[in-house]
Amino acid sequence: MISIDPAWQGDVTFYELVYGTWLTYGFLVLMWERGLRVTLPEWQYVLITFLGASFYWVNHYFQRAPFYLWLLNGYTLTFLIIYFLVCVRPQARSLAWKIGATLTAVLFTVGFIGFENIARAGVKRGVDEFWFMLTAYFGFLALIIWRGWLPYRRASR
């Protein structure tokens, strides 16, 4: 059985990922729908957020591995290509708009890291990680109501 060297493990923890994910999902939706004025199918928001959250694997399990930068850069390139192909390329917009929209992947990443660091900073200041997990679960519930239940209720009227 192949095992991962525990010495490679990074500092990113699960509560940071969970806390950052729900906020990042909302940020991504607002960035596209309000900033870029494009409404994507919900599965695309889910896919991009999932791929962004998957960086956790790289940063948690391999942050101190000798090949970390190769893995991080390869995953980043893959993420950018998928972001472009799934979200940007299908839009009938100008080249300048497409370049700008592709660069929102950087804003997405910075936002994700920032949201995760809110939880990290809180725990470093003495707030138990439980509260960040609890907030995240209520945050996911709010996302479900906002993106799923409310539009369904409006459409069924």
pLDDT tens figures, 58-97:
999 999 999 999 999 999 999 999 999 999 999 999 999 9
Residue 12: per-residue pLDDT: 87
Please tell me the pTM assigned to this model. 0.92
Question: Quick check: helix, strand or coil at residue 87?
Answer: helix
C-alpha 45, offset from chain centre: 9
Q: How far is CA 45 from CA 20, 56, 137, in A?
A: 15, 18, 18
Average pLDDT value over all residues in the chain: 94
